[in-house]
Structure 1
């Protein structure tokens, strides 16, 4: 299934706050659709599916990509749910978003895809690039690139910079100092339910 490009507020109304998808707030608190206001009690499967969909829409990954991330997380020692979140959070598009260079993850992905972002002095246009501790993330030395990022920095998507990142606003340069800790993940999610969803499907 391709990446979602439809109305984002519709997704927010159904799944709750997704800080990476949009900065807008839904005017209505109930899900969209004819039966949005009087939904039946959800099954356990529906709850797990909803948590999985939160990850997909917030980080902008396809189902195929998410399955790949889950398999990769299972091979790493430690909590599979936490490792999955760390893999998604350490993507380049999400790191650019968390540094404040873009208001949402989709706009950060566009910055990366259009060649505005450099990693360790090299232009990287792959949004799924996995950032590692020690990586230096900077803006390409072009007027167009710097102007876009400076405009975005006036209204960053999230106010607080995570502890594993540092950012120099004067030079438009960020540094990855480590792997993100669980308390800094902005998305309100129960990652264990996502792992359960995939373990029951396997």
Structure 2
């Protein structure tokens, strides 16, 4: 499996992205204010695509497949793409505050600690639907890992489209997110323009 081993903060600096969107604290020693060199139109579009892929931890081929799926759906392709990315199970675990970062959320899912409607799911790209109940298994709730997560990520704001029950380590998807509910700093129209060429 392909793994990007570039340090997260270095990648954030190169994409001009605030690490807090990934769940990381700003611990960068160097000032991230670099001399902004002028990017071409293609460069700006490519940066927005790389930013979206990096934030959600998606590789090129699955990202392109998400774009094709978004293009076939009703409505605006860019908004559909962001909604699809937001519906991924690893992202929902991160949004609920059950993981510090999306990478950790992915690992939690892969280790079979997550159930959706009572069934164990170990696929990070699983698409959540409205009405689904996402929970951490009871056997895993007392692990030290989750106690540490509760201290750090427990105070994170949960989006309005999810109803979180942090005491019982579960959340209910009230509705699918709309674009205005997604606080990710990505200009999805640039991605649409890039793939439309």
Using structure 1 for the length normalisation, give the TM-score: 0.89
1:25-64 to 2 correspondences below 5 Å: 25=26, 26-30=28-32, 37-38=34-35, 40-64=37-61
Q: What SS does structure 2 have at the residue aligned with 1:2?
A: coil
Q: Corresponding residue for 1:183?
A: 180
1:12 maps to which residue? 12
Equivalences for 1:1-202 in 2 at 5 Å?
Answer: 2-15=2-15, 16-25=17-26, 26-30=28-32, 37-38=34-35, 40-142=37-139, 144-147=140-143, 148-156=145-153, 159-200=156-197
| 1:34 corresponds to | none
Check conservation: 1:20, 1:105, Cα contact below 8 A.
Answer: no
Cα RMSD for the two superposed structures: 1.9
After the TM superposition, list the runs of 4 or more consecutive aligned residues in structure 1 that deviate by more than 4 angstroms. none
Is the alpha carbon distance of 1:58 and 1:150 closer, same or farther for their aligned partners in structure 2, counting shifts above 3 Å?
A: same
In structure 1, distance between residues paired with 2:154 and 2:35: 32
Q: Secondary structure, in 3 states, of the residue corresponding to 2:157?
A: coil
Shift of 1:11: 0.6
Q: CA deviation at 1:41?
A: 1.5
Report the Cα offset of residue 19 of structure 1.
4.0
- State how many pairs are aligned: 194
Q: 1:158 to 1:109 in 2, by over 3 A?
A: farther
Offset from partner CA, 1:93-125 (integer Å, 9 cap, x none): 000000000011000000000001111101100
When residues 185 and 112 of structure 1 are mapped into structure 2, their CA distance, relative to the original with a 3 A threshold, is: same
Give the unaligned 5+ runs of structure 1.
32-36
Q: Please state how far the C-alpha of 1:39 moved relative to its aligned partner.
A: 5.4
Q: TM-score, normalised by structure 2?
A: 0.91
